[in-house]
Structures are given as C-alpha cells and as structure tokens.
Amino acid sequence: MAKAELLSPTDRLSYVSDKYIFVFQRQQGNIFVFDRDGKIITHFNRKGRGDKEYNQLVCAVFDEHNEEIFVFDSPPTYQVLVYSLTGAHKRTFKYADMTMMEAYNFDSETILIYDVSGV
C-alpha cells in the first residue's frame, strides 16, 4: 500500500487554534485553511505577476481575529499582500529590505519577523 503524505517537507504548518489550521506551500504558492476536523475551509493560490499577486511566497501569517492572511512576497518587491479568508485581495503594503526567514502572528496588532540579514 502506498504511503500518503498530508504535508511535504516544504509545506509549513503555520497556525493552529481551536477553530482553524493554517498551512502554506512556499514553492507552489498555495494557501490552505482547514477546520479542526481537517475539512478545507478555503484554498487559494495568487502566485503571479499581477498587482494583487505574489511573485514568490516567502512566508504567510494567519490573523484569526480579523480572518486575514498576510503573504510576504519575495525581494525585490518587499511587499505584504493581505487576503480575506476566501482569498480576495484586501490591501498591499511594503516591508523593510531584509532577509526574512519567518513571520509570526504575535497578537491582533503585531507580526514578529525573524530577520537573518544581520546574522
């Protein structure tokens, strides 16, 4: 019998709460939100070159309180694209020129970013 993998080594299990499980795939650009029973609530991929798309998904952060997904795009754009739970683009803003490894939702107003450019 073939072995089935739910997550590949490059997939990131980024957030788990009593209500949601959030996973993103850096290389493919896929975003998944599951309920706690493992049923897909939403899945989208906005990888592309358009103004509401990301070139390369560096990291993604789920804000459960506001039901928003923050996608950090790769350099040279240094932008964060914010999507609704359904994958609709809400807004875009810039972040500082840095070598980001990870980002974490600290609270409803703060995202912590791990910058390795000075390491």
CATH number, position 51: 2.120.10.30
Q: Is residue 4 part of a domain?
A: no
Q: Is residue 3 part of a domain?
A: no
CB-CB neighbours of 40 under 10 Å: 10
pLDDT for position 100: 66
pLDDT for position 6: 65
Q: Is residue 5 part of a domain?
A: no
pLDDT class of 116 with cuts at 50, 70, 90 = confident
Q: Is residue 56 part of a domain?
A: yes
Which structural domain range is residue 87 located in? 11-115
Q: Is residue 6 part of a domain?
A: no
Q: Is residue 109 part of a domain?
A: yes
pTM of the model: 0.85
Q: Is residue 41 part of a domain?
A: yes
Q: Is the peptide bond before 76 cis (omega within 30 degrees of 0)?
A: yes
Q: How many domains does the chain have?
A: 1
